[in-house]
Amino acid sequence: MPGMTEHDPTARAYAVRLDREDPLASFRERFVIDDPELVYLDGNSLGRLPLATRDRIERLTAQWGSELAAAWDSWLDAPARVGDALAEAALGARPGEAIACDSTTVNLFKLASAALELAPPDVRAIVTDAGNFPTDRYVLDGLARARGLELRLIEEDPIDGPQPADIEDACRAGDVALVSLSQVAYRSGALADVEAINRAAAPARVLWDLSHSAGAVPVELERRGVELAVGCTYKYLNAGPGAPAYLYAREALQPQLDNPIQGWFGQREQFEMGRAYDPVPGVRRFLGGTPPIAGLLAVEEGVRITGEAGIVALYAKSQALTGLIVELHDAWLAPLGFELGSPREAERRGGHVSVRHPDAWPITRALIERAKVIPDFRGPDSIRLGPAPLYTRFTDVHDALDRLRSLVEDGAHREVDASRRAVT
């Protein structure tokens, strides 16, 4: 980003200048922003609503009302069409290698099951890190128990995440069938070295979760030799709450993979209603039941905006936004007892920054209730700040950290209801 060599990060005028020089600034106007005073730093959890998505859903309801079931002729290819759009705009993959469907949890189960079916009979373990996102660990634990395998958990560094040496040690005995990791750690934002970890895990297959990376950092599945991946679309891809996820399988591996959830949308000539299951070739065999069309069209619109902005430009701005958070943490928050919970170096970070404090939960509530700043909390002591480069301004970051500093200095976090909520 321009203007990053000589600066005073604590001066709001510096943030104003960065906004003025930001080549992505105009994209903010393409999102619903009802309250301009609210600073939204939770784009790593749920992205904002694109105006184009709101219009697209209105057109869909009109089409449903007028065309009824005849509209399926235009809806039927949505999972593959949206998958191809994802591959091009966000995943660095080829057409026919990604499909939009189901949830991340279900897709992880499908690809992990398919990969385990290919493993030699003498393998005994699945490897993941103890800090991996809970749904990933739960799915892998269930698969391990069902197949009589060991789930081998790496106790990685809480800031830097699992390193290639950790994976090499876990796989040293040659008894690992599958390694499953996240490209960006959900708590700390650490960015994994995908290629080095793939090499360290060999010959075990590696299944990557891209939920916290796609749309914020370059994924580059083709270039990095990734075979299997899953991810969600409601974070940096702005597809909406509970929007369909996606899965990726490298073209050369697809003929060897079987979908453990055999559904009629993965069936060849599905409307012939044949008795025997005969899966279609390619990644479409991983479809199951009837796809959620409204959700898929929302994914398509979110991905379209990402493609227009370009992942290189988005990553550059993301690094600059998170870099400003780190600098303001050092200047304003560290003296108040905060610790940086994310890698300091930009090239080792994803799209969000965690700041740690013993009173992180009441501080989070005070930010939301008293300072009009929305972050999120991840136990035991992390406040995640997720600036989404499509719509977050540098002045948003400056103002949020300034408000955070002020409320802790004033002790406002001691005055809020600190009982835990269902959603944190």
Active-site residue (options: 166, 209, 376, 396): 209
- The strand pair at 246-249 and 339-340 is best described as unpaired
Contact between 377 and 384 under an 8 Å Cβ cutoff? The reply is yes
- Who contacts 297 (Cβ-Cβ below 8 Å, separation ≥6)? 53, 56, 57, 60, 78
Active-site residue (options: 109, 186, 234, 265): 234
Residue 148 burial class via C-beta count within 10 angstroms: exposed 0-12, middle 13-18, buried 19 and up = exposed
- Who contacts 42 (Cβ-Cβ below 8 Å, separation ≥6)? 374, 375, 376, 384, 386
Query: Among this protein's residues, is 286 annotated catalytic?
Result: no
Query: Among this protein's residues, is 138 annotated catalytic?
Result: no
Active-site residue (options: 384, 393, 403, 405): 384
Contact between 409 and 402 under an 8 Å Cβ cutoff? The reply is no
CA 78 to chain centre: 21
Dihedral of alpha carbons 341, 345, 350, 353, sign: positive
Neighbours of 114 (CB within 10 A): 23
Angle at the Cα of 409 from the Cα atoms of 319 and 383, rounded to 5 degrees? 40
Active-site residue (options: 235, 250, 378, 405): 235
Active-site residue (options: 40, 133, 265, 286): 133
Query: Among this protein's residues, is 372 annotated catalytic?
Result: no
Query: Among this protein's residues, is 235 annotated catalytic?
Result: yes
Query: Among this protein's residues, is 110 annotated catalytic?
Result: no
Catalytic residues: 133, 209, 234-235, 384
